[in-house]
Chains A and B, each alone.
Chain A
Amino acid sequence: MFDVTRYRDQFPLLKRGIHGHPIAYLDNASTTQKPQSVIDAMTDFYTNHNANIHRGIYTLSEEATEMYEGARRAVADWIGARSEEIVFTKNTTEAINLFVQSWGESHVGTDDEVLVTELEHHANLVPWQELCRRKGAHLRVVPIQEDGTFSSEDVVALLTPRVKVFALTGMSNVLGTLPPLKEIIAKAHAAGVLVFVDGAQLMAHDAVSVTSLNCDAFAFSFHKLLGPTGVGVLYAKKDILAAMPPVVYGGDMIEVVEQYQAQYREAPWRFEAGTPNIAGVAGIIPAIRVLQEARLAGAEEYLSSLSLYARERIGSVDGVKILGPLHPGSIISFSFADIHPHDIATVFDTEGIAVRSGAHCAHPLMRRLGVLATTRISLHYYNTREEIDRVVIALEKARNLLAK
């Protein structure tokens, strides 16, 4: 049985008070809190093992390098990939941009098509828009139903011979929609289309195996997975990565440099120029460990049950309209009476509750849903029913204060 109290004890920030209330942190789709073991690993790196990687023939540098490459292997094992298929980036956004500017530039041409969906976060939309503009290619968009879902049939309808890539989210950061990835990927491959998955939210929701999904490339950030900020991952299949040219040039990604030309290293190091966020990478293995232990102890089932409780309790407040699909996902966007999400978030803050309000970096989706902004709650294993009950009380407080 998952013990949420024991799990929470690992997170020092959850003991904070906000405006005289214990913090209820419900903005996990934005970033997650960090367990002490992750914080300690970063401090330990700087205290005892700090040196640059791949460069020094001395103990400290070897320790730092072994830690860094060990983290790469751990990530690969975790998602069912090979080490050489894992590129460390700053975050998901950088991973997506890297893929677009490297694979996209060399594989998408004039009058080709790039397929995205109406659900996309700007990070998995704007880079593809710019690619199409640069190359004279065309962006096509898979539409969603009123409930924020779409089917593989909706995708197939848009798979023309000119489509080179389908870039989609593994889980909507606004609605929690989970596209049927495996099915979609199979159908896209049958049509000769490569599939890129923005896994930023999906990775926090579920154990992902890229081999089982069979996606061609996948991006995510560790700060949404209990890890430090400044560490993201681009996974791509070995042969795809091998065909991708570097985008950022400099030290550590080169094999040989002459005065007027250089030869580059093989993947993944070819994509990691300069000194990376070594201390951040030191936080990866402890973060994976905490997540895996929690999942083995039933954390996902706990989260499903909590999400259902949240939807029922919040959904039953008069004037609340929950957007998106009816499944009990851990990301819940809603509107409340005619009270603006910013005002809801301000009232919540005075009660110690942290939620996200706004357009969630998904303006086209907001327009499609016919809303200007929403309030979003996104749960993690350390959230509790008591925190959801506090949300309901805070909604009534907002109503009393602001209803016209």
Chain B
Amino acid sequence: MDIFSEEILHHYKHPCCTVPLAFATQEASGENVSCGDKVSVRIACAHDRIDDISIIVTGCAISTAFGSLVAQEVKGKTISEVLSWDDATVLSLADGEVSSARKNCAFLAIRALRKALLQ
């Protein structure tokens, strides 16, 4: 059986958008205290749009992969659209299932991004 999908493994080994933005309009960080996964999000927004983003995760395969998937997906999107995403939308960014025990890993990046967007 596939423990991690090809897509998750790819984003874990080659995550997108990990060079910290030199200039950011908002930033936020997050942590899963129970396992030590950490994320740092920097965004550059103009009007209602996310022009650029960096998401740096120090953590497990799931949290790193979803950090990359989220960063890739939100670039160019409006803030209001991203804020309207629910949990299911975030999980659908990757193929395959995320087990309930690992869902907090998958949501690490989006939770920090939401904090940044609401500043």
Asked if B88 lies at the interface with its beta carbon under 8 angstroms from chain A, I say no
Cβ of A342 < 8 Å from any Cβ of B? Answer: yes
Number of interface residues of A (CB under 8 A): 19
- Are A363 and B3 touching (Cβ within 8 A)? no
Contact B34 A404 (CB under 8 A): no
Partner-binding segment picked from B18-26, B43-51, B56-64, B66-74: B56-64
Q: Looking at chain B, what size class is its interface with the partner chain?
A: 20 to 34
- Determine if B33 and A359 form an interchain contact, defined as CB atoms under 8 angstroms apart: yes
Q: Which residues of the other chain, A, contact B9 by a CB distance below 8 angstroms? A: 401-402
Given A342-B35, A342-B105, A373-B36, A19-B61 contact (CB < 8 Å):
no
Expressed in whole angstroms, the minimum distance between the Cβ of A376 and any Cβ of chain B is 13
Out of B1, B4, B34, name the residue touching A358 (CB < 8 Å): B34
Q: Which of A343, A366, A371 has the most CB of B within 10 A?
A: A343
Residues from chain B with Cβ under 8 Å of A373 in the complex: 35-36
Closest-by-CB residue of A relative to B99 is A346
**B102 contacts A by Cβ under 8 Å:** yes
Evaluate whether A359 and B61 lie within 8 angstroms (CB atoms) in the complex, with A342-B105, A404-B13 already known: no
Question: In this assembly, does A170 line the interface, its C-beta being within 8 Å of a C-beta of chain B?
Answer: no
Q: Can you list 21 A-B pairs with a CB-CB distance of less than 8 A?
A: A340-B35, A340-B37, A340-B60, A340-B61, A342-B62, A342-B105, A343-B4, A346-B4, A346-B99, A347-B3, A350-B3, A359-B33, A359-B34, A366-B36, A372-B38, A401-B4, A401-B9, A402-B12, A402-B61, A404-B12, A404-B13
Q: A342-B35, A404-B12 are in contact. List 19 more A-B contacts (CB 8 A).
A: A340-B59, A341-B35, A341-B60, A342-B37, A342-B60, A342-B62, A343-B4, A343-B61, A343-B62, A359-B34, A359-B35, A359-B36, A363-B33, A372-B37, A401-B3, A401-B4, A401-B9, A402-B61, A404-B13
